[in-house]
Structure 1
Amino acid sequence: MKKKTNISFLVIGVVIIIASVVLAKFTYTLRDIRINGELRYCPIININYSGKGGNSADVLINGQKKLAGHITDDLKVGDTIAVRYIKGKSQVVQDDVRLSIYYLYFGLESILLIVGIVFIVGGFMGKTR
């Protein structure tokens, strides 16, 4: 019997690999800001409250409002936090960070890449008709 390429497996595999690449780009950008960014102490100008306990803050850098990520409950508007910033980039990374989130991102990248490759290989192995 002749095997036919399984197009749906190929498409799913390509989409998963694209998701892995997007996640890798995101973590690389955060790591680049953390390593090469300028340390600044910026005032909190706005706190975005979430019902799920994930409050985030906006800081003022060079007259622009930038999202600084999750904050603890004890910080208020007007307090200063340490952030890392690279001029020209839209992202800001807090200097105080939980490294466990980076381990989670790296693990997800690896898992998505492996699953995507498995789907692509399975797509080329084909289906029997």
Structure 2
Amino acid sequence: MARIVVADDDIDIRELVEFKLSSLGHDVTVVGDGAAALEACRAERPDLCVLDVMMPGVSGLDAIRLIREDDALRDLPVILLTARAQQADVATGLDSGADDYITKPFSPRELAARVEALLAR
């Protein structure tokens, strides 16, 4: 079982991701924006973080940059889960420090497989 922080401003996406990852036995904390994700990561020291890119306030890209600048969180695996699907968006996401990039709409089964693969590293 892993501790996972999920940040998305869409409650339906948060609930879907939480349900899927919880059903795999993970302890999932869900939040609605990047600032709350950063706060949860600092407080809980999760094993993985799943971030939406487009969120109010602190975006997922801003959050991942702050995570990578924090000595205690620098090695935290991060998956970006976003509707931004252009090649330039994917490149920006990976260049910002994401370990994986999943576009919406997404398959919960694929998300689960990628989460498990990243946690296995």
TM-score normalised over the length of structure 2: 0.21
The structure showing larger relative contact order (alpha-carbon pairs under 8 Å, at least 6 residues apart) is: 1
Larger radius of gyration: 1
